[in-house]
Chain A
Amino acid sequence: MDDLPPSAEVSAAPTHVPPAQGHGEGHGDGHGGHDDHGHEHHELGFIRTYLFSTDHKTIGIQYLIAGLILLFFGFCLMLLMRWQLAFPGQALTWANAHNHIMYQVKEVCYHLGLCRMPTTPLPVPPDPNDPPLLQIIFGDAQMPGGIMTPDFYNTLGAMHGTIMVFFGIVPVAFAAFGNFVMPLQIGTVDMAFPRLNLGSIVLFAISAILMLGSFFVPGGAAKSGWTSYTPLASISDQPQMVVPYVLSIFHVIPLWLTFMPSGAAPGNGLHLPGLQVAADGLHLFRLHVASWHAGHSFQWPMWLTGQSVWIIAMAFNITSSLLSSVNFITTIVQLRAKGLNWMRLPFFVWTQFMTAFLLLLAFPPLEAAALMQLMDRLAGSSLFSPTGLVVNGTPLINGGGGSPLLWQHLFWFLGHPEVYVLILPGLGIIAEVVANNARKPLWGYNQMVYGLFALGFLSMVVWAHHMYLTGMGTAISAYFQLVTIIISVPTILILSSLIISLWGGSIRFTSPMLWATAFLPLFGIGGLTGIPLAFNAPDTFLHDSYYIIAHFHYVIAPGTIFALFAGVHYWYPKATGRMMSEFWNKVHFWPTMILMNCVFFPMFLQGMAGMHRRMYDGGATYEILNQNVLHWNVFISEAAWLMGLAQIPFIINFCFSWKYGRKVSDNPWEATTLEWSAPSPPPHGNFLKPIVVYRGPYEYSVPGDSTDYTPQDQPPSHGPIPISGPFPAEERAIGIPHLH
């Protein structure tokens, strides 16, 4: 850590003082001025400016909007599932929905003493001449008469998980905020590799299109859970060997093989082995084409069914994330502004740094596993299928000797770091918002950074706590139990630091702060309920129950997603120059916060009563076991649907404020970090003056200063900061608390 004494940096500051620019406020005196950077006027067309831009801010906003739309889409998939769970086997039609709404309204009236107790509505039978909307959208095989088939329920579950995690949260929390905010916070002009950045988002777009498109292939989208456990995943949707096609499509290779020495091949004289391969492949290909002609219709190639598309889409998604993470780490290491040494980085940058490392190192094993599953599906191998596998009563003839457990290991080797990928950027956003609104330095900045490193390292070695029930063996389980408990220490350390940071602050309840204050306890619930799961004994009971669903949704939904809302509100003025409406934020916040708990808290009760997480009818078949908690299903579903409605104020607020929001200055939150020293919205090249950093990230309420915030790039007013005195500069910079 290259801690230079502040005085050394002052002398290293640029000596030329160009004429002051006077754009916005909060710029340092003396050193303001413009550099050529901000003033290069390229005339880029619409496409290069908005669609295929290499500017980190445009890319960040593209990720944000795509991610938010996908988050909402994934959420809607879950809303469909909740119908099936609340009213198993009923057709999802307007008539039935209307009846249930009326029933609920009447029930409320009954409780208010306005009418008699209504009777439970009977399902309206579907009308074959008038197929419901959902049947038209998803096809007769998935929603016949509006009734969800078990397969389609599984599809929705798998796609909900996949889309939320890989296509919603990661793009928003990591790619969007990371791209937009991180280069600004380190005071640089762009990412280290702007074109690679464009490549990442193009790959992401391809993966999202593939993933969404897979709903419409024959047999529907993937249906083996977001974890794609084998052997289910490797045999679902009747995969077909593709090797013959590969051989014929890449006929170049056979032709090339033609000129090979025939080596050990028997036969006489002129022997052209490559032709043999080509002929084999072409023959099979012709058979396939012939079958199209016989049927006079295009036949979808069976190797490209749901689960295969899932794998291919994931491969694109993973590659996109890998390239982003290379870009992020390089940017943070190489492009930090002058004077911005490591321990002066805002905590948000640290979290992005660690997230990028997790993606970089944990994602490739999943890519390898995806490749192997693709081999299983398309090349007929059995890497993940055991010997003697019996499917639907018929033994599956395959090479044998594969290991389903291996898939789980490879998946969770990514899967656990992935959950930290989901939460760390959220923690970073909350840290920024808390420091800014409590008007205090973060308590224990150093510990938080070290905790982050501990977290990053430990998250790579705890994966098999998701696999206690697979029979790995007690010794292995004991190890994973131990490390899982250890990992909760740094998690709690960071969360506690954030809570203590509030102590003694004069908190401003701005829009972002509202979300941050809700985040702290709700994320705490999620984290604390993870601890029983870390132990083998309780997990044996709780595994794969609704308790798990509740645990991880508490960390991700009121956790990360609340942090994302905080981030959107916090940086919106930077991206647009306008503020989002505080009033509409409250209209959004309060119902969301309350309903979020209504959705997830009862799931703890259901889970502890033993309700399984993957039941098509929400456990109705086992009513005798679940009777005390079954009724929650309807309550949860209604809360979820209302929560869907509660997002409308946000959507309106987000869209309208872009044009009509209140115009604000460059630093409306009176924050200290560097992004606020750029104009809003920042031009191509970001800053109007060269950035030099003189202090730590959270110098709020510094005694003796004229304002209660001291931007990182504000030069010391009276020469070097004195080392002696009640609040030594070094300590202030790293955020030692001043508790009164």
Chain B
Amino acid sequence: MEIPYTFTARPDTGLYNGKLGIWLFLASEVMLFGALFTSYLFMRLGADPGTWPTHIQSIPLGFTNTCILLFSSITMVYAWVALKERKFNQFRVWLVITILCGFVFLYIKGTEYYSKYIHYGVLIKAEDFDKYSGEFKKADVMVNEIPTQGVFEIRGHWENKTDKNATYYSIIPDKNFHPIGYQPPPGETAPSGDEEQTFKIDKADVERFGNLLPNYGTYYAIYFTVTGLHAMHIIGGCVVMLYFLILGSKLYRRNPEQFANRIEVTGIFWHFVDLVWITVFPILYLT
């Protein structure tokens, strides 16, 4: 028994089944990511003053990843074209490049996640903040006030992590921690890197302390949700492409046209994942 229009187009719709299927699936994906982006907006607009950090992601890394994905979309198309021209070996080369792009993307994403993991935020109770404010001011440490929670926030590396008995946190603050609304002085770029100095903050004075994982704040929660879901799509795409890379020659020999269709469908999915990233980049990195 054969299902009609599996790899030939139906004349009145001009589509084969798989192509319509993937477009419908992507429609649902649009709603999935759309809901997350809308949630992002909803939360950002409703965030209490001081709780929504901006400009804290590394734009060079984000931009590199954008370029990598865009490039991989192009190579994906070439892979399909090669199949259409029945040049199987060329197809394999293009597909390998595409998969590698996916891996490099994930690698860079991983380094970004890792940098969240090793950065800590310290929320110092407002009533105890006077102890530290002078010191901070002298060293030009970036401090963020969160009035609704009655705390002051600084960020940095945690030096005495291994010392379980310490009564204080020793922190090397970040220079690139920019509270919302921060503008670099005219003619200068925003500072980055670490301060030279280590500060000791009494554990008793700290309201909340933690690395920049989803439980640190809503911004990080939505950041990890969106980028994590996107990364899972990348992983899924890579798995499918690896499957076609490994079993491709068999499928190709059986029915080259159907195999080309499958690659086309995979490509449509891949472009969509790319498109999602093009939305993620401005909302999470550029603003």
Interface string of B215-231 (1 = CB under 8 A from A): 11111111011000100
Which residues from A are CB-within-8-Å of B21? 192-193, 196, 326-327, 330
Tell whether B111 is near chain A: CB-to-CB under 8 Å. Answer: yes
Q: Is the CB of B3 within 8 A of A253?
A: no
A363 to B157, CA, bound (A): 41
Tell whether B5 is near chain A: CB-to-CB under 8 Å. Answer: yes
Interface string of B170-183 (1 = CB under 8 A from A): 00100000000000
Which residues from A are CB-within-8-Å of B220? 381, 399
Tell whether A390 is near chain B: CB-to-CB under 8 Å. Answer: no
Q: Which of A122-130, A216-224, A366-374, A703-711 contacts B (4 or more CB under 8 A)?
A: A366-374
Known: A273-B118, A401-B43. A368 touches B35 (CB 8 A): yes
Q: Indicate which residue in A192, A360, A398 contacts B215 across the interface (CB closer than 8 Å).
A: A398
Tell whether A568 is near chain B: CB-to-CB under 8 Å. Answer: no
Q: Indicate which residue in B46, B118, B218, B225 contacts A371 across the interface (CB closer than 8 Å).
A: B225
Which residue of chain A lies nearest to B1 when distances are taken between CB atoms in the complex?
Answer: A685
Known: A257-B114, A326-B21, A335-B3. A363 touches B225 (CB 8 A): no
Interface residues of B in 197-233 (CB under 8 A from A): 208, 213-222, 224-225, 229
Tell whether A389 is near chain B: CB-to-CB under 8 Å. Answer: no
Which residues from B are CB-within-8-Å of A191? 3
Interface string of A9-38 (1 = CB under 8 A from B): 000000000000000000000000000010
Tell whether A364 is near chain B: CB-to-CB under 8 Å. Answer: yes
Q: Is the CB of A406 within 8 A of B115?
A: no
Q: Is the CB of B28 within 8 A of A364?
A: yes
Known: A361-B27, A365-B31, A685-B1. A399 touches B39 (CB 8 A): no
Interface residues of A in 297-340 (CB under 8 A from B): 322, 325-327, 329-330, 333-335
Q: Is the CB of B28 within 8 A of A372?
A: no
Which residue of chain B lies nearest to A381 when distances are taken between CB atoms in the complex?
Answer: B221
What's the tally of chain B residues with a CB closer than 8 Å to chain A? 60
Which residue of chain A lies nearest to B108 when distances are taken between CB atoms in the complex?
Answer: A260
Q: Is the CB of A330 within 8 A of B24?
A: yes
Q: Is the CB of A260 within 8 A of B193?
A: no
Tell whether B190 is near chain A: CB-to-CB under 8 Å. Answer: no
Which residue of chain A lies nearest to B215 when distances are taken between CB atoms in the complex?
Answer: A380
Q: Which of B10-18, B80-88, B128-136 contacts A (4 or more CB under 8 A)?
A: B10-18
Tell whether B148 is near chain A: CB-to-CB under 8 Å. Answer: yes
Interface residues of A in 54-112 (CB under 8 A from B): none
Which residue of chain B lies nearest to A684 when distances are taken between CB atoms in the complex?
Answer: B1
Q: Is the CB of A277 within 8 A of B117?
A: yes
Q: Indicate which residue in B1, B15, B31 contacts A40 across the interface (CB closer than 8 Å).
A: B1
Q: Is the CB of A410 within 8 A of B35?
A: yes
Q: Is the CB of A369 within 8 A of B215?
A: no
Which residues from A are CB-within-8-Å of B149? 387-388, 400
Q: Is the CB of A364 within 8 A of B1?
A: no
Q: Indicate which residue in A264, A329, A334, A684 contacts B5 across the interface (CB closer than 8 Å).
A: A334
Q: Indicate which residue in B12, B47, B111, B172 contacts A401 across the interface (CB closer than 8 Å).
A: B47
Tell whether B282 is near chain A: CB-to-CB under 8 Å. Answer: no
CB B191 to nearest CB in A, in angstroms, measures 13
Q: Is the CB of A256 within 8 A of B110?
A: yes
Which residues from A are CB-within-8-Å of B47? 401
Tell whether B74 is near chain A: CB-to-CB under 8 Å. Answer: no
Q: How many A-B residue pairs have CB under 8 A?
A: 187
Name which of B16, B36, B114, B216 has the most chain A CB atoms within 10 A of its CB: B114
Which residues from A are CB-within-8-Å of B31? 360-365
Interface residues of A in 237-285 (CB under 8 A from B): 241, 243, 253, 256-257, 260-261, 263-266, 273-274, 276-277
Q: Is the CB of A383 within 8 A of B218?
A: yes
Q: Is the CB of A265 within 8 A of B157?
A: yes
A261 to B115, CA, bound (A): 11
A202 to B65, CA, bound (A): 36
Interface residues of A in 170-219 (CB under 8 A from B): 188-194, 196
Interface residues of B in 1-53 (CB under 8 A from A): 1-5, 10, 12-13, 15-17, 20-21, 24-25, 27-29, 31-36, 39, 42-43, 46-48, 51-52
Which residue of chain B lies nearest to A331 when distances are taken between CB atoms in the complex?
Answer: B17
Interface string of A665-687 (1 = CB under 8 A from B): 00000000000000000001100
A379 to B215, CA, bound (A): 6
A402 to B52, CA, bound (A): 11
Known: A188-B4, A326-B24, A334-B5. A368 touches B32 (CB 8 A): yes
A257 to B110, CA, bound (A): 7
Top 7 A-B residue pairs of the complex, sorted by shortest distance between their CB atoms: A380-B215, A381-B221, A365-B35, A364-B32, A381-B214, A364-B31, A368-B35
B-side residues, CB < 8 A to A, are 1-5, 10, 12-13, 15-17, 20-21, 24-25, 27-29, 31-36, 39, 42-43, 46-48, 51-52, 107, 110-111, 114-115, 117-118, 148-149, 157, 159, 172, 193-194, 208, 213-222, 224-225, 229
Interface contacts beyond A364-B35, A376-B221, A379-B214: sample of 9 additional A-B pairs, CB < 8 Å, sorted by A? A192-B5, A192-B21, A264-B194, A329-B20, A334-B20, A335-B3, A368-B33, A380-B214, A381-B220
A-side residues, CB < 8 A to B, are 2, 37, 40, 188-194, 196, 241, 243, 253, 256-257, 260-261, 263-266, 273-274, 276-277, 322, 325-327, 329-330, 333-335, 360-365, 367-369, 371-372, 375-376, 379-383, 387-388, 397-403, 406, 409-410, 413, 684-685
6 contacts between A and B (CB under 8 A): A256-B110, A263-B111, A264-B115, A334-B15, A364-B35, A375-B221
